[in-house]
Amino acid sequence: MSERPSVPLTPPVSLASLLAREDLALRQIAGPAGPGTVLHGAHASEMADPYPYLLGGELLLTAGVHIPETAGAGTGLDGYVSRIVAAGGAALGFGVAPVHDTVPGALVAACEAYGLPLIEVPPRTTFAAVARAVWQLMERTRTAELRRVTEAQQSLAAAAARPDPVLAVLRRLARQTGGRAVLYGPEGTEVAAAGTAAPEEGALSSLARLLVSRGSATASDTTPEGVHLAAYALGAGQGFVLGVASPRREPGDQSIASVAAVLLSLLTGEQRGGSDAARSAALVRLLLGAPPQEVAPLLGGGERWFVVHARPAGQAAAPDALAASALGAALGSPLVDLADGVVRVLVPAGREPGPQAGWTLGVSAVAGPGQWPAADAQAARALARARATRGALVRHGRRAGLAGLVAEDEAREHARAVLAPLDASPALAETLRAWLSLHGSWDRTAVALGVHRNTVRQRIARCAALLGTDPDDPDVRMELWFALRVTGQ
């Protein structure tokens, strides 16, 4: 079994847990209170408009350097708070001293109006101490959840080796989630179950049948009583479904259930012998030189496919083979490749890929075998954008627009002429595309490409010099984006 399961290394923590730290003496003075506010990090900034520097979910710390000492109505604090909320900031921490003796009343009123939690940071508490406390809480949560998922993986693997492995795995899963685990057969009938039966049993069965009828990989719902329901298809076209009902929803539950789904897929593998043989035949034919168009029908997913690229969310370690297989099972496809820390999955078009807990996904447009290389590039770009914007899933898509009014051959010829100066440097074209797609954000482009923000600036400046254009001009940006899309760079 895996020693490093796929669980986010920096899961969010509740604002309430930070306020509970007596050594910090923090006090909430405005905004909604309760366990609903979670923090993904802490960031200190004295910018009058911190919007461009926030990714969302942060506790923004400020001493109010930009706020007048006699801040009142009309001082722009409404705009300041609204920009933090628009950027997805989770809370605002205001340091009392050395600039202000108290938190400005106008700021308190603005935070109350916009529903932004406002935290008073006393003079003796440094911003560094607050930020360190946030990361300590995250690390503590991550460690506890990682340990729980690791132990669950080991216990599930041990259960799979017992004389009645299917029932043993279901029992272990039910115990780990504190609920009920059910294996449904191809006809939607209950094959085996473990855990205490509950009124939501009928709702779970209905969710499993809905999953099969839609050909989806996963489905979830929550009952009016707050019981979480989840269903997982066991492999592509296998027909078996794992259903889980649990009274709580912990960050690692998705990973634990995915591991159970992989094990149950293997244990019920007799139903997939024909598919395995077909995939082996497809591999042999590819090795012997057959074109993808001829091989694709043997894979059992039809003529159209999605290409999915995935990485663990946050700063999690690179995935291992077990985590990659679990992701493939969750997406409903056994066609999984793991290389350089990226999991690539070929998913039949009938199984629309959805967000997966603990993963960041980029999904291509639906493509036939002849377009698989292009779809692979689309999925890679979508994943880069998802990571840069901290989204769970980004899909590549093209909508009809003004570009469709230009003849394809003419558009391609014009685009190649525009971008010709960049032909000798693919890195410049890649950086330009990422920078334009992220609305000129240096920081997010740097994250997407895995380079320093100064490198992004230098490359964009070089592009401007080679192309003889001003990329800050909206008209220029539009033409460059049009050219990049047409050429596929």
Q: Tell me the CATH number of domain 301-395, given options 3.30.70, 3.30.310, 2.60.40, 1.10.3470.
A: 3.30.70
Q: Which helix (H) or strand (E) holds 194?
A: strand 190-194
pLDDT the model gives residue 150: 83
Distance CA 76, CA 280 (A): 66
Of residues 402, 488, 390, the one with CA closest to residue 447: 390
Written as tens digits, the pLDDT of the chain (489 aa) is: 333 333 344 578 899 999 999 999 999 999 998 888 999 899 999 999 999 888 889 999 999 998 876 655 445 799 999 999 999 999 999 999 888 999 999 999 999 999 999 999 999 999 999 999 999 998 888 888 788 888 888 888 888 777 668 888 899 998 888 889 988 876 677 778 888 877 777 888 888 888 777 767 788 888 888 888 888 888 655 678 898 988 877 777 878 888 888 888 877 764 444 466 676 777 777 777 777 777 777 776 667 889 999 988 876 567 767 667 767 777 777 788 888 889 999 888 878 888 887 788 999 988 888 788 888 988 988 888 888 777 888 888 644 455 544 556 777 788 888 888 888 888 888 899 888 888 888 888 888 888 898 899 999 998 988 888 888 888 888 888 888 877 765
Tell me how far the alpha carbon of residue 270 is from its chain's centroid: 33
Residues facing residue 287 across a β-bridge: none
Q: What is the model's pLDDT at position 71?
A: 53
Same CATH fold assignment for domains 13-136 and 162-267: no
Alpha-carbon span 300 to 444, nearest angstrom: 39
Q: Could you tell me the two tokens for 283?
A: 């591999």
What pLDDT is stored for residue 160 in this prediction?
A: 78
- Cβ density class 176-204: b for 16+ within 10 Å, e for less: bbebbbbbbeeebeebbbbbeebebbebb
pTM of structure: 0.45
pLDDT value of position 120: 97
Amino acid at 346: L
The 8-class DSSP code of residue 365 comes to P
182 - beta bridge partners?
193, 243
Residue 32 is predicted with a pLDDT of 92
Domain ranges of the chain: 13-136, 162-267, 270-298, 301-395, 402-487
What residues does 13 pair with on adjacent strands? 39
**Distance in angstroms (rounded) separating the CA atoms of residues 434 and 15:** 34
| Residue 105 contacts residue 36 (beta carbons within 8 Å) | no
Q: Which amino acid is at 420?
A: A
How far apart CA 355 and CA 358 sit, in angstroms, is 9
Residue type, 82: S
Q: How far is CA 367 from CA 1, 46, 303, 399, in A?
A: 34, 48, 8, 16
Taking CA 338 as the corner, what is the angle to CA 217 and CA 316, rounded to the nearest 5 degrees? 85
The answer to whether 392 and 362 are in contact (CB under 8 A) is: no
Q: How wide is the angle at C-alpha 203 spanned by C-alphas 197 and 207, nearest 5°?
A: 120
Domain 13-136 homologous superfamily, CATH: HprK N-terminal domain-like (3.40.1390.20)
Measured distance CA(51)–CA(89) in Å, rounded: 9
Measure the CA–CA gap between 337 and 345, rounded to whole angstroms.
Answer: 6
Instruction: Round to whole Å and give the CA distance between 365 and 381.
Output: 12
Plot region of 193 (φ>0 → left; ψ -120 to 50 → alpha; else → beta): beta
pLDDT of 408: 64
Is 162-267 a domain of CATH 3.30.450.30?
yes
Among residues 356, 345, 262, the alpha carbon closest in space to that of 305 is found at: 345
CA distances from 466 to 78, 153, 428, 472 (A): 43, 54, 10, 15
- The residue whose two tokens read 């992989």 is 262
Computed over its alpha carbons, how large is the radius of gyration of the chain? 26
CATH 3.40.50.1000 fits 402-487, yes or no: no
Q: Could you give the CA distance from residue 479 to residue 467 in angstroms, rounded to a whole number?
A: 12
